Amino acid sequence: MSGHGLKPPVGPSDHVEGPADAPVSLVEYGDYQCPYCGEAYPIVKQVQKRLGAKLRFVFRNFPLAEAHPFATGAAEMAEAAALQDKFWQMHDMLYEHQDALDSDSLVEHARHLHLDMAKLKTTLGSSAVAEHVRSDFMSGVRSGVNGTPSFFVNGVRFDGNWTDADEFAAALEAVANAV
């Protein structure tokens, strides 16, 4: 479809880095086990550094569970960490350890980030985190996500090249300047 738009727009249930009034909002739909998302991870970091306060970055879950057996568990762990205000620490930990996403490793990561393990267990046992992940996934499908990672810039699907940090940053700068 040509008019792929982000549905719903960035809201209170999203995980956000950067100022709310930034001229550019970059939303990534990602899968923690996806190698291309792993490739995108340091590129997004570079782009965030380069645009500074001009960029707000949002991450939503899009686990391709059939292709990636550990993707859903990893996504749920990140959402559970979010309930202890450590979403981004867990997000970064997962992308920096994509070779260790099985359930034992996830528990290790949680320990490493000093999560409250009793609270974590209760959280993971409830349906809330699974529902958050599923709801992110469906919002991605409705928004026109066509693979991982999929990026949306100010609500519009970005079909350009994100694999080169210079090019990606330049495209976002252009949007910032046009706002």
Partner 1 sequence: MALAAGTPAPDFKLQVTPDQAVSLADFRGKPLILAFYPADWSPVCGDQMALYNEVLPEFRKFGAEILGISVDGVWCHLAFAKDRKLHFPLLADFEPKGGVAQKFGAYDSANGICERALFVLDGDGVIRWSYVSPIAINPGADGILEALEGLAGKGAH
Measured from the CB atom, the residue of 55 and 145 that comes closer to partner 1 is 145
Query: 61 is written with which tokens?
Result: 């879950």
Backbone angles phi, psi at 29, to 5 degrees: -95, 115
Residue 24-63 contact track with partner 1, rule CB under 8 A, x = bound: -------x--xxxx--------------------------
Q: Is 164 in the site for partner 1 (CB under 8 A)?
A: no
Name the pairing type of β-strands 24-30 and 55-61.
parallel
Q: How many angstroms separate the Cα of 122 from the Cα of each of 40, 106, 109, 126, 146?
A: 32, 15, 17, 6, 33
Q: Is 80 in the site for partner 1 (CB under 8 A)?
A: no
Among 52, 147, 170, 174, indicate the residue that binds partner 1 (CB under 8 A).
147
Nearest by Cα to 80 from 91, 95, 66, 96: 91
Give residue 130's region: left, alpha or beta (phi > 0; psi -120 to 50).
Answer: alpha
Minimum distance from residue 98 beta carbon to partner 1 (Å): 13
Minimum distance from residue 66 beta carbon to partner 1 (Å): 5
Q: Is 146 in the site for partner 1 (CB under 8 A)?
A: yes
Q: Is 133 in the site for partner 1 (CB under 8 A)?
A: no
Q: Is 67 in the site for partner 1 (CB under 8 A)?
A: yes
Quote the CA–CA distance of 42 and 86 in Å, as a whole number: 19
| Residues of the shown chain interacting with partner 1 in the complex, contacts defined by CB under 8 A | 1, 4, 31, 34-37, 64-67, 137-138, 141-149, 159
